[in-house]
Structure 1
Amino acid sequence: MLRLGRREFGPHEPVIMAIVNRTPDSFYDQGATFDDLPALERVDRAVAEGAAIVDIGGVKAGPGDEVDAAEEARRTVGFVARVRERHPDVVISVDTWRHEVGEAVCEAGADVLNDAWGGVDPKLAEVAARHDVGLVCTHAGGARPRTRPHRVAYEDVVADILDVTVGLAERAVALGVRRDRIMIDPGHDFGKNTRHSLEATRRLGELAATGWPVLVSLSNKDFVGETLDRPVKERLLGTLATTAVSAWLGAQVYRVHEVAETRQVLDMVASIAGHREPAVARRGLA
């Protein structure tokens, strides 16, 4: 059982985490939700389309203008409070690697700290423990925040992913984070080239076999674009194909831009796997 905020999710229940970027330079939407009103509309739409979690980020993942902790907090803390008031039952996640920001957003009502940079600030897990919130433990290959991989190499990328993510998860438990609030993330594109991300997907079952709920952040990423030679706005089909494979191999949480399309893919896979009844079943019965 995965317990985040007021919600509980069974082991075969796929969970959508909708991306809400509070940045003016997002790689995907170029700042479409930087201002409060469009960002709140994005949250409303995502929840209506089936997202149980909204993931709020105040710093672009890739290189760009410097954003210090104070500016990151300015972009996220007040917005977390507004979402908490507007959607009392939605799980609010904040994508940050900084413990100062983590502290502030938890006080404002966040339920999860999404540490996409693999524990680069070890105090972030302490914040999660102190506030009794969820934590995403990600493999970033030792990369520093907001850097791109360059000639990275692994003897066995999945073995490294397992070692790092499980290690971070167990450390979090030792610090006081509840086991049922922890997810592990292979970190597609983070500290990896395209072949590494494809192998991480192909062998995702090895992560699921650890027993930790697996979160995947696949949406429109560069490994999809390079695999199909498609620009950012033409990566949806590749993303959904990767989502279906990940669902079949045991991932549970999906961080996405396109909620409605992802919901249909996850429902279809769940029904094929026998974990979900068809919405309608009339064929051959009438």
Structure 2
Amino acid sequence: MSYYRPLVQHGENRPEGALPLISGALWFTEVEVLDRGAPPRIMPAGLLPEEVRHRLTARRATIAGLDMTQPQIMGILNVTPDSFSDGGQHDNVAAACEAALQMVADGASIIDVGGESTRPGAELVPEEEEIRRTAPVIEAIRARSEVPISIDTRKAVVLAEALEAGASLTNDVSGFTFDPALAPLTAQAGVPACIMHAQGDPATMQDDPTYENVLLDVYDFLSDQIDRLEAIGVVREQIVVDPGIGFGKTLDHNLTLLRNLSLFHGLGCPILLGVSRKGFIGKLGHEPDAAARAPGSIAVGLAAIGQGVQFLRVHDVAETAQAVRLWQAVR
């Protein structure tokens, strides 16, 4: 099996034969062809197989009412006591709701509510506690705003309560491998789904992550999970993929995925990237304080949207929104 990574470029003067990346402003004239056990090679985009060409160039459908031809900012709202950089900051419904509304005012187009920390070493949170943390917050936000809300959960019972409270999207860091009831419920509810790749459970995922080929292994996992969700009724056009930076990956694994993000357009789905304030940014940026990692987070985010990534999941919404506006103006 061959994999095709578009070598993404930008500019108004496109050469003859350039193909638009997902019908947007970015384009490509060549692809890198990747095969297991063989060296990479460069191929003209015009020689792409028709199905691959369609997936790389077709316009993406709206997700939760959001335009996929523009970068979208997902604001992180952790209602947990132990998340790695903002645990305990939104420990009551009123504070969490105000934080969400401020993120919307600052430029977030979707809010991601999570009640279970998935930082390295985190322990499982009981379903009842996760519901207690998340459902009232989602209900409070929905009472004051129409902003789309995603529920960051691995559990079907938590999703059911979140949907009842007004959530619009399922975001599962286990890639729908933790709770077998979550995917069928997502299909039954008819809401979009975000499939994230993770190797192992949060409690152990950073112990010794290993891959045969991290880029292609993550791609294959996401492809298989898309097929699984499609088979039970989730429409491919309503599936988002996330390579899961930092979830069972070393620094080198993370960098390999970030350098090659455009490969994942071949799945035919929008791409979400969550790198905000993560440990590798602190290591490379020489910043031990997670709350001070906005500059590094933004740098990686801008590089990602330069490869056509549609969603940036971030803590620092106002700063990211300003950077994206300038990126768009310059590009």
Aligned residues: 269
Contact kept? 2:79, 2:114, Cα under 8 Å:
yes
Equivalent in the alignment of 2:88? 31
Contact kept? 1:208, 1:249, Cα under 8 Å:
no
Q: Which amino acid aligns with 1:257?
A: H
Equivalent in the alignment of 1:239? 297
| Alpha-carbon separation, structure 1, partners of 2:291 and 2:151 | 24
Q: 72, 78, 93: which is aligned to 1:15?
A: 72
1:29 deviates by 1.8
| Alpha-carbon separation, structure 1, partners of 2:313 and 2:285 | 21
Query: Unpaired runs of 5+ in structure 1?
Result: 274-286
Identify if the C-alpha distance between structure 1 residues 40 and 150 changes in structure 2 by more than 3 Å, giving closer, same or farther: same
Equivalent in the alignment of 2:213? 156
1:123 deviates by 2.1
Contact kept? 1:4, 1:133, Cα under 8 Å:
no
CA RMSD of aligned residues (A): 1.6
Q: How does 1:103-122 map to 2 (within 5 A)?
A: 103-120=160-177, 121-122=179-180
1:179 aligns with 2:236: yes
Q: Which amino acid aligns with 1:138?
A: M
Contact kept? 2:245, 2:254, Cα under 8 Å:
yes
Which is greater in Rg? Answer: 2
| Alpha-carbon separation, structure 1, partners of 2:92 and 2:204 | 26
1:214 deviates by 0.3
1:259 aligns with 2:317: yes
1:8 deviates by 3.4
Query: Unpaired runs of 5+ in structure 2?
Result: 1-59
Equivalent in the alignment of 1:50? 107
Q: Which amino acid aligns with 1:261?
A: E
Q: 192, 195, 206: which is aligned to 2:249?
A: 192
1:161 deviates by 1.0
1:64 deviates by 4.2
| Alpha-carbon separation, structure 1, partners of 2:62 and 2:203 | 30
1:145 deviates by 4.0
Contact kept? 1:194, 1:227, Cα under 8 Å:
no
| Alpha-carbon separation, structure 2, partners of 1:268 and 1:126 | 41
Q: Name the TM-score, length of structure 2 as normaliser.
A: 0.77
SS in 2 for 1:149: coil
Q: Which amino acid aligns with 1:27?
A: F
Equivalent in the alignment of 1:129? 187
Q: Name the TM-score, length of structure 1 as normaliser.
A: 0.89
Cα deviation code 1:165-210 (max 9, x no counterpart): 1221221122111223210000000011111111110000111233
| Alpha-carbon separation, structure 1, partners of 2:305 and 2:328 | 8
| Alpha-carbon separation, structure 2, partners of 1:21 and 1:8 | 22
Q: Which amino acid aligns with 1:191?
A: G
Contact kept? 1:113, 1:136, Cα under 8 Å:
yes
Q: 62, 68, 85: which is aligned to 1:3?
A: 62
